[in-house]
Amino acid sequence: MNQLEKRQETMMELIESPSIKDTILSLLNTQKEIGAFKQAAIALATNDQLKKAEPESLLHCALEAASLGLPLRAGQGYVVTYKGKAQLDIGYKGWQMMAKRDGYSVMADPVTTIDHFTIEGYGHNVKIDFQPNIDRELYNDKWLKDNLVGMIVSIKEIETELETTEYVEAGMLYKIIAGSPGANSDFSPYKNWLLQMLRAKAIKYVISKMPIDVSSSINEAVEISNKYESINQQNAEPKKEIMSDDRFNELLPQWQQVIEKKRFTVSQLIASISKKAELKPSQIESIMNLSIIESTASEVVEDGVTDE
């Protein structure tokens, strides 16, 4: 029996265990649904991209997806591996589908450096003026990383048509992604579907903070997402010292020169700085607002930050 067959057999044994069978019966209503679930769980166990994940954790992800009514396909949900364990990451379409079941329509629109975008006011009086530029390259991951400013999240209650709009800065989105399931794995959805995952994280961030009465599926989805983000943050490297505003303002002119001399792109510069210190969301936004110059240069600045 080869390794693939062993993993399949292990998964089948787990599924047929009394406690798991009871859980499946509590989540699914028909034999057709149960059969589809078993096939999906076995497919996870025999997926070459997930071969490093423990079968028990794969089954747990499959059960979480079933409890949310979330198909693991078509951008609705992803299973990724983190330190030998599987984790569930909910996609943009997944959040949209769950929200629609609960009577809400949700959308997330990226704001980039070439768009017309202004935000005024505070509290309940925020006014957003947004006009996207037709030349945006949203499905070019490199371009998007270099030019993303933030996300506008719109949540509309279908029955009343009441709409809530919130803006999430790019710095906050990247901070959330840093703790997301599989963000740095070889088969991460962030490497192939960056725009969709940014949208997903923006929606999750906004909807988790809104005082709206949604069904348990959305609440459960937020809890699952928070759980994995918390696990990943706890297992991450020790926190770096936060960049002080005084030090940031001192170095900003030098970073401007680094970009003008085509030694770094904005995303490369942020990554380089982050190796030494943790940037605040407002600081990341300030760097992203610098003149962006496309660069393929590989010259490394001493200390990864400045010419000092």
pLDDT digits (tens, 9 = 90+) for 133-169: 999 999 999 999 889 999 999 999 899 998 889 999 9
Per-residue model confidence (pLDDT) at position 299: 40
Tell me: pLDDT of 175 over 90. Answer: no
- Residue that terminates a domain, selected from 87, 110, 139: 87
Domain limit, last residue, from 194, 211, 234? 234
pLDDT at 108: 96
Write the pLDDT tens digit of every residue in 118-135.
988 877 788 899 999 999
Considering the domain architecture, whether residues 160 and 176 belong to the same structural domain is answered as yes
pLDDT of residue 295: 41
Same domain, 128 and 164: yes
Examine the domain organization and report whether 179 and 120 are in the same domain: yes
Same domain, 142 and 230: yes
Q: Torsions phi, psi of 279, nearest 5?
A: -90, 145
Q: Are strands 116-120 and 104-112 parallel, antiparallel or unpaired?
A: unpaired
For residue 165, give its domain range.
92-234
- Please state the domain count of the chain: 3
First CA to last CA distance, the chain: 60
* 141 and 217 housed in the same domain: yes
Burial class (CB in 10 A: 0-12, 13-18, 19+), 84: exposed
Backbone angles phi, psi at 290, to 5 degrees: -65, 160
- The rounded distance, in Å, linking the Cα atoms of 158 and 67 is 24
Is position 239 within any domain?
no
Please give the share of the chain, as a percent, with pLDDT higher than 90: 38
Do 27 and 54 share a domain, yes or no? yes
Do 122 and 197 lie in a common domain?
Answer: yes
User: What is the rounded distance in angstroms from the CA atom of residue 30 to the CA atom of residue 256?
Assistant: 61
| pLDDT over 70 at 293, yes or no | no
Instruction: Report pLDDT for 234.
Output: 66
Last residue of a domain, one of 179, 210, 234: 234
Looking at the structure, tell me whether residues 11 and 124 fall in a common domain.
no
**pLDDT given at position 106:** 94
Looking at the structure, tell me whether residues 215 and 257 fall in a common domain.
no
Q: Chain-wide mean pLDDT for the chain?
A: 83
Same domain assignment for residues 260 and 293: yes
- The per-residue pLDDT for range 36-77, each reduced to its tens digit, is 999 999 999 999 888 888 999 999 999 999 999 888 776 788
pLDDT tens, residue by residue, 234-291: 665 555 688 888 888 888 888 888 777 776 777 777 877 877 788 888 888 888 777 5
* Whether residue 125 is found in the same domain as residue 61: no
| pLDDT, tens digit (0-9, with 9 covering 90-100), for 5-34 | 899 999 999 999 999 999 999 999 899 999
> Could you write out the DSSP letters of every residue in 132-169?
--TT--TT-HHHHHHHEEEEEEEEEETTT--EEEEEEE
User: Looking up tokens 């006011």, which residue turns up?
Assistant: 121
- Both 230 and 98 in one domain: the answer is yes
